[in-house]
Amino acid sequence: MLDAQAAAVAFDQALTRTTGLPGDLIPLLQAAQVAFGYVPVSAMERIALTLEIPLAEVYGVVTFYKQFRLTPRGRNLIRVCDGTACHVNDSMGLIEAIDEVLGLKPGQTDEHLDFTLETVACLGCCSLAPCIVVNDETHGRLEPRKVRTLLNKLKKQAVAERSGAATV
Ligand code: FES
């Protein structure tokens, strides 16, 4: 995800490179998502205008494919596995611990865009159940206490980064 100005420039460039053919719809949506971190309505409107297709068609494609997001995602992505091996090893306890620390339920992002919580069916490391992935790092054989410790640390970092960014 780019900062707002860089995102707008990158998306403008993608729009100027388009052939204007309907086949450009998905590449343009992908360009919007790479730039903004999700597909804003304003980007859908500009794509519809550029390709001369109805906005409803653009919206239909965005909502059809799981790869597209309609809301911004937090800078830190937490994915909790709720597959069978993790579920029987108390993945729900991990989800509750995350909710306690971050106030998030699966599918939610906090107001500062620090964290997004998602659940997945299997992370492919069932022998480490229950496990979560924070950004690209896998944490296995977890229990709620360990999750609280991990997330309290990440939360402090996120707040520090945000305050640092505000003073620059
Ligand atoms: S079920 Fe959780 S990693 Fe496979």
Average pLDDT estimate for 82-107: 96
- Which pLDDT value is given to residue 47? 96
Confidence of residue 88 (pLDDT cuts 50, 70, 90): very high
Task: Choose the final residue of a domain: 40, 64, 88.
Answer: 64
On whether residue 70 sits in a domain, the answer given is: no
Decide if pLDDT at 166 tops 80. Answer: no
How deeply is 46 buried, as exposed, middle or buried, from its count of CB atoms within 10 A (0-12, 13-18, 19+)?
A: middle
Q: What is the pLDDT of residues 44-54, one digit of tens each?
A: 999 999 999 99
Q: What is the pLDDT of residues 102-151, one digit of tens each?
A: 999 999 999 999 999 999 999 999 999 999 999 989 999 999 999 999 99
123, 133, 141, 142: which to mutate for ligand 1, most atoms within 8 A of CB? 123
Q: Does 114 share its domain with 142?
A: yes
On whether residue 28 sits in a domain, the answer given is: yes
Q: Does 57 share its domain with 88?
A: no
Rounded Cα–Cα distance for residues 44 and 96 (Å): 36
Q: Does 38 share its domain with 116?
A: no
Q: Does 56 share its domain with 107?
A: no
Rounded Cα–Cα distance for residues 86 and 82 (Å): 6
Instruction: Determine the distance separating the centroid of ligand 1 and the alpha carbon of 110, expressed in angstroms.
Output: 25
Decide if pLDDT at 155 tops 90. Answer: yes
Q: Within 90-141, where are the H helices?
A: 91-102
**Any ligand 1 atom below 6 A from CB of 129:** yes
- Which pLDDT value is given to residue 37? 87
What is the span of the domain harbouring residue 143? 76-167
Average pLDDT estimate for 89-108: 96
Decide if pLDDT at 164 tops 90. Answer: no
Q: What is the pLDDT of residues 2-42, one digit of tens each?
A: 677 888 899 999 999 988 888 899 999 999 999 998 999 99
On whether residue 155 sits in a domain, the answer given is: yes
Q: Is residue 99 within 8 Å of 64, Cβ to Cβ?
A: no
Rounded Cα–Cα distance for residues 24 and 84 (Å): 39
Q: Which atom of ligand 1 is nearest to the CA of 123?
A: 3
Polymer length in residues for the chain: 168
Q: Into how many domains does the chain fold?
A: 2
Average pLDDT estimate for 152-165: 89
On whether residue 147 sits in a domain, the answer given is: yes
On whether residue 127 sits in a domain, the answer given is: yes
Decide if pLDDT at 167 tops 60. Answer: no
